[in-house]
Amino acid sequence: MNLNLFPLHYASALGLLISLASSSYAAPLPNWKIEPFSSTDKLLVSGKDPAQLDRFTPIPIQLDAVRGEVVSFQFVVRASAQPIQTLAITPNGLASIEGNFVGSTAIQIFRENYVRVQKPSGNRIREPKWWPDALVPLELAPQSVPEGGCAVFWATIRIPRDQEPGDYFGELDVAANGDNHRLALTLHVRRLQLPESHFRGTVALYYDVLRDWYRKSGHEFSDEEWQPQKQRYADFLLGFGLNPYDPPFAWNDARVDGYLKDARVHSVRTPPLDSPDFSVAVEAFKRTDTLSKAFYYWNDEPQNVVQFAAIRHNGPQLRALGIPQLVTVHPNSALNGAVDIWCPNVGNALGMGHLDLAALRSEQWQGRPTWLYTMVVPKNPYPTWLLDDDSSAILSYAPLWAKVGATGFVYSMVHGWGPKPLEDLTSYANTNGDGTLLYPAELVGGQGPMPSIRLMLLRDALEDYGLWQEARMRKIAPAFEFPAFRKEALVYNRTALLNILETGKVKPTQPSKGFQLFPEVPSSFTLGPSLIGFGGLGEGRAVVINLKGGVLSAEFHGKLLRENDAVGIMVEPVAIDKITEQWRLYWSNKGLEIQKRTAQGRFEATLSAVRAVKTPSGVRFWIPLAALNLAHDAVRFNALWLEESGTTRLFTDAGDPFLAPILKQSVVKAGQREPKTPDAARNTSKTP
């Protein structure tokens, strides 16, 4: 799962082995070398050649695992002036000094495929780079490495649940052009066993859409050939702890019973109520005594009264059958009594981006679970599942799920590929990799699916979720925070979590109050006309803000807007927990767009009193708050600068209105100066 250094008391026992093996990764070799690395970060490429990695520091492979989990590591084979024409890698397994073994069959090795992200999604790294994602099984991967170039490999070790605890030592044999070297491995297996988890991680595997992609890509399947291909994909996902929405068999197929009773299957979506298959599916659930695995999910992100009415209409009928209705929405009064599983977006609840933990807990206490979902949003500083985000971002979902009390999630298509998924993973809303977690092995001469780095990391998160749940139930969970700015990758101290579970207590240096779910932003500030820069954008872009006489004005200065750029204002009431509405006003080269967001959805609006005009230096907004039915002396506020590479916010509230600072009206008496902007702007860089 995650690479962690051994505790200090193991260091002396390993010193001799590491010393003897150090030449494999540290000392320069005359022709080529091996460089080990952690699985909790990604090796990137800034230049034009994906074989020329950015500089990194090799890290010895010293793995720390509990019994029953899968651990991962990476290593790089670096060619010198002589290209590598033939590359062979052989795992030899691991052994302890007590004579216990982890066999070579427990080890899988993949070569990482790199794709160019020309337009970043808007996370921590916003420069075009090559990112690794698809993992090509070793037997299907290229055997060559270009002159002076690198090949990056991902390896996994599956630890049996009954593995004897202890310290294990092993190696990989790597032969390049007939020249042999070895990469040393150490593995500490703890007495802890991975808790059994029934977390209902559920993903969209649309069999007809998948078949259509194959057809368009020149891979025709007869009906007879397609059935085993469907099963390959479904079984592959189950192996990673993920449940396809739908079974790979027709509901009237006798084989569906075996699928429903599979211990790995925790959740299955029913057909729509008006489908002839619905009653057939209900009978199958009852026949196999698996009705607890069923859920109904056919109203996605409801935003209008028609959708809300359908949800309310379906509720009693489904509840009478014992089938919970899941809706991708935050708890709200409009759907009270109709929803059995609330599934808000991590960064977009009530259309506005907030997870109300008190409301979710209240529903959980009444027997209505929480699931979560993510699609396109959130973005930095929240963790994402996007291609161009840190590895630790996905891993951090484990404590997030535990903190929120989530027992499952839904995720959009795992196979949302374009024509060339190994070369381009551009996806929805100017993001990369959204709706993709696996790849078709047929592109490299194989059959069925092959994994991604993000799929490996998601399995790690699902495994860690069980550990976090146990720690939280025992009230010994360590602290974990999402920083307001991710200038570096998130720090995920898994070793601390394992130590706590083994010892049963938190060390004095480790706070036990939990972790900060949302990044910090200033609570309030008062402004006269004040210039604040947009941190990270550079190029002198800034905004002058003023709230006076019930009128909010904001004048954007800086680089002229390009074709797809926009600037925006977010305003909402101070007591947003009582008045769940938000106004967003955007100006682009297409003109002014006004949007109101409420629990019922997002609605376009026309307000003649609100104006936005282009100025010589940028754009100016003139917003009478009375036109928005907002108090004239204080509002929650943020300013946005939207580019194709992502959205930059004046204040780092991550789109969460509860974190948007409160802007108070400036009141200046005669003889006094305008109040200065306090540390409210500490998360931005001021522009002179």
pLDDT in tens, 265-300: 999 999 999 999 999 999 999 999 999 999 999 998
In this prediction, residue 542 has a pLDDT band, given cuts at 50, 70 and 90, of confident
Whether the Cβ atoms of residue 435 and residue 452 lie closer than 8 Å to each other: no
In this prediction, residue 358 has a pLDDT band, given cuts at 50, 70 and 90, of confident
Which residues in 348-500 belong to E strands, given as ranges?
Answer: 370-373, 406-411, 438-440, 449-451
Say if residue 327's pLDDT is above 90.
yes
pLDDT of residue 673: 40
Between residues 639 and 70, which one has the greater pLDDT? 70
> By percentage, how much of the chain surpasses pLDDT 70?
81
Single-letter amino acid, residue 296: Y
Mean pLDDT confidence for 143-166 = 97
Superfamily of structural domain 8-193: Immunoglobulins (2.60.40.10)
Mean pLDDT confidence for 204-215 = 97
Say if residue 516's pLDDT is above 50.
no
Between residues 537 and 563, which one has the greater pLDDT? 563
Say if residue 668's pLDDT is above 80.
no
How many other β-carbons are positioned within 10 Å of the β-carbon of residue 163?
A: 22
In this prediction, residue 520 has a pLDDT band, given cuts at 50, 70 and 90, of very low
In this prediction, residue 670 has a pLDDT band, given cuts at 50, 70 and 90, of very low
Domain residue ranges in the chain: 8-193, 200-503, 524-681
CA–CA gap between residue 626 and residue 631 (Å, rounded): 7
| Crossing angle of the two packed helices 494-503 and 453-473, in degrees rounded to 10 | 30
In this prediction, residue 537 has a pLDDT band, given cuts at 50, 70 and 90, of low
The H-or-E segment that residue 65 falls in is: strand 61-67
pLDDT of residue 646: 64
Mean pLDDT confidence for 633-651 = 80
Mean pLDDT confidence for 160-167 = 97
Structure tokens at 568: 């925006």
Say if residue 32's pLDDT is above 90.
yes
Whether the Cβ atoms of residue 333 and residue 362 lie closer than 8 Å to each other: no
Say if residue 672's pLDDT is above 50.
no
Whether the Cβ atoms of residue 567 and residue 643 lie closer than 8 Å to each other: no
pLDDT of residue 435: 93
pLDDT of residue 221: 95
CB under 8 Å to 258, separation ≥6 — which residues? none
Concatenated DSSP letters of 189-200: EEEEEPPP---E
Say if residue 515's pLDDT is above 70.
no
β-bridge partners, 145: 84
pLDDT of residue 683: 32
Whether the Cβ atoms of residue 490 and residue 421 lie closer than 8 Å to each other: no
pLDDT in tens, 465-498: 999 999 888 888 776 655 545 666 776 778 888 9
Say if residue 664's pLDDT is above 50.
yes
Structure tokens at 556: 């954007």
pLDDT of residue 174: 96
In this prediction, residue 577 has a pLDDT band, given cuts at 50, 70 and 90, of low
pLDDT of residue 597: 79
Say if residue 18's pLDDT is above 90.
no
Give, in order, the Cα–Cα distances in Å from 58 to each of 33, 43, 221, 601: 11, 11, 45, 49
In this prediction, residue 226 has a pLDDT band, given cuts at 50, 70 and 90, of very high
Structure tokens at 628: 């928005």
Whether the Cβ atoms of residue 25 and residue 76 lie closer than 8 Å to each other: no
pTM of the entire predicted model: 0.80
pLDDT in tens, 167-197: 999 999 999 999 999 999 999 999 999 999 8
- CATH number (3.20.20, 3.40.50, 3.30.460, 2.20.70) of 200-503 reads 3.20.20
β-bridge partners, 156: 72, 108
To the nearest whole number, what is the mean pLDDT of the chain?
84
Give, in order, the Cα–Cα distances in Å from 134 to each of 111, 112, 439: 8, 6, 7
Is 200-503 in the same CATH topology as 8-193? no
Say if residue 11's pLDDT is above 90.
no
CA–CA gap between residue 312 and residue 305 (Å, rounded): 10
The H-or-E segment that residue 472 falls in is: helix 453-473
Mean pLDDT confidence for 390-406 = 89
pLDDT of residue 3: 39
In this prediction, residue 1 has a pLDDT band, given cuts at 50, 70 and 90, of very low
pLDDT of residue 485: 53
pLDDT of residue 354: 57
CA–CA gap between residue 134 and residue 682 (Å, rounded): 39
pLDDT of residue 13: 37
